[in-house]
Structure 1
């Protein structure tokens, strides 16, 4: 019973926390949300992976028909997760290499690169020599204050290293599909955090710039672009947030609840890791059932 509870705990916690993700988002400031959500997603992915490995290790020691079936499921989950995670890392590496075109451009002025393109767009390119890329179409469509606000927003992404947190959440979802909702939460929190960092004293300027840029981008892209609906909804929420007060402190109950979940999950990872090590490579003089009898 103890072994079963230990193996099921990370799965139960991952599902229990994944269901009320919107409450998690509302309980913390954007700066807290982007870091906490990325860290928890990756922790849950590691915990459930170690739980699966522990199932395989236990069954290998004392195989039964039911146990063998569970081990096959656990092995399939681990193998599929590793394949998805490898593909994700390869795509991320390819994207980082592709960014050299912008980072190494001789046309850049400091950390800003303006490219001759009528499509209104702006994005941050991370990596060594990170740069903010904006198109001439966007430059022409916004006034000076709005343009400066959007550039500050992209610079905020680079300063806060939001791309690392987004990649961590996406890696977690690749390892465990139950965590598929976490990357969107982290991406939205990253945008909100960049908004708050860039808004300055006049939040209305950035709100107006976001709304205008979103409308122009939507009008310049083909209707088959599948991400437009979700992106438009996110922009509405971001603009509404900028018209409201600045985020306050995280709620105490949420901090305590997340701390408890993290402590329990970390402890579970430690126990399952030790269990797998004891079964696979027992230490000299140590019983293979030292952790769980």
Structure 2
């Protein structure tokens, strides 16, 4: 196999470095879709390459070669992958599969718990007002899902803020934002280099909901003020935020990263974001290069195995 086989293992580094600028400069809905698809493609490509390296090392074992009818002479002469690379690929592949399976199981369990909890909430209205202490508002995925708002959060906002809060939460619910967050987290489990993409998507889904609320109300400054007031009310609350693991709230996940709320407020006080074509072209080129390298590696290994089997 050519050196291009290793590029899908390195290109996620460039994706990680560009995740932040893409999240800030692209229109949030486009950024969310692009980063999620990129994360899944890069994770799949790197996993495929690790599998190819492991397979290239596996066929060099004499017993395996004999069982499959491969020629030891051809394998030794062609040397599809050095032993250190093949061994490293096998170890990393096992770790990636294990980490992905564990995270996928945790996310599935959290989603199922959210579905059951949403079904057990009183009433049939999608919006549920609770008497729970503290200020919190969040969306629970489910069939069809529920929006939970505490009296403490309602007391912290005015009537315009209530409308903005509902628009924000409905954007989370109707656009299935939890799926985007979960998919990028699974991709990051398969390839830890993609963790910045998962962090960026957790930010872009909030920006997506912010922009939806701004479009719904026609007042970007009011949305910025509502996000800020919600953050202050939550911080002043003496009780912990009772947000389920599968939920997304107006402040994001249960533990929003430092600086996220100020960045969202600043983005809302600025003009609506555009999508520079150059950034989109660069992202498309990166994904295309990754896919081509993975396909080329698979083709090279296939040709090698065919050659080893026919001699």
* TM value normalised by structure 2: 0.81
Q: Given the superposition, is the C-alpha separation of residues 100 and 21 from structure 1 closer, same or farther in structure 2, using an over 3 Å criterion?
A: closer
Give the one of 195, 201, 205 matched to 1:180. Answer: 195
SS in 2 for 1:20: helix
Q: Indicate if the aligned counterparts of 1:214 and 1:232 stay in contact, CA closer than 8 A.
A: no
Q: Indicate if the aligned counterparts of 2:137 and 2:153 stay in contact, CA closer than 8 A.
A: yes
Distance 2:6 2:228 in 1: 45
Distance 1:7 1:108 in 2: 56
Counterpart for residue 14 of structure 1: 12
Give the one of 156, 160, 167 matched to 1:141. Answer: 156
Shift of 1:276: 5.9
Distance 1:155 1:276 in 2: 49
Shift of 1:6: 2.2
Shift of 1:104: 1.2
Structure 1 runs not aligned, ≥5 long: none
Distance 2:128 2:239 in 1: 25
SS in 2 for 1:245: coil
1:110-135 alpha-carbon deviations (Å, 9 max, x no partner): 21111221111111111212111111
Q: Which has the higher contact order (CA 8 A, sep 6+)?
A: 2
Counterpart for residue 96 of structure 1: 111
Give the one of 46, 49, 53 matched to 2:51. Answer: 53
SS in 2 for 1:118: coil
> Does residue 210 in structure 1 map to residue 201 in structure 2?
no
1:166-202 alpha-carbon deviations (Å, 9 max, x no partner): 1111001101111121111001011001100111301
SS in 2 for 1:110: coil
Counterpart for residue 206 of structure 2: 191
Shift of 1:160: 1.7
Q: Given the superposition, is the C-alpha separation of residues 53 and 230 from structure 1 closer, same or farther in structure 2, using an over 3 Å criterion?
A: same
Q: Indicate if the aligned counterparts of 1:21 and 1:185 stay in contact, CA closer than 8 A.
A: yes
Q: Given the superposition, is the C-alpha separation of residues 139 and 230 from structure 1 closer, same or farther in structure 2, using an over 3 Å criterion?
A: closer
Shift of 1:62: 3.7
Q: Given the superposition, is the C-alpha separation of residues 99 and 71 from structure 1 closer, same or farther in structure 2, using an over 3 Å criterion?
A: same
Counterpart for residue 237 of structure 1: 263
Give the one of 39, 42, 60 matched to 1:41. Answer: 39
Q: Given the superposition, is the C-alpha separation of residues 47 and 107 from structure 1 closer, same or farther in structure 2, using an over 3 Å criterion?
A: same
Q: Indicate if the aligned counterparts of 1:53 and 1:276 stay in contact, CA closer than 8 A.
A: no
Q: Indicate if the aligned counterparts of 1:53 and 1:74 stay in contact, CA closer than 8 A.
A: yes
Q: Given the superposition, is the C-alpha separation of residues 183 and 106 from structure 1 closer, same or farther in structure 2, using an over 3 Å criterion?
A: closer
- Work out which of the two has the higher radius of gyration on C-alpha atoms and give 1 or 2: 2
* TM value normalised by structure 1: 0.86
Shift of 1:275: 5.4
Counterpart for residue 281 of structure 2: 256
Shift of 1:232: 4.5
Counterpart for residue 30 of structure 1: 28
Equivalence map 1:79-158=2 (5 Å)? 79-105=94-120, 107-158=122-173
Q: Indicate if the aligned counterparts of 1:46 and 1:269 stay in contact, CA closer than 8 A.
A: no
Counterpart for residue 267 of structure 1: 292
Equivalence map 1:212-227=2 (5 Å)? 212-220=229-237
Shift of 1:288: 5.4
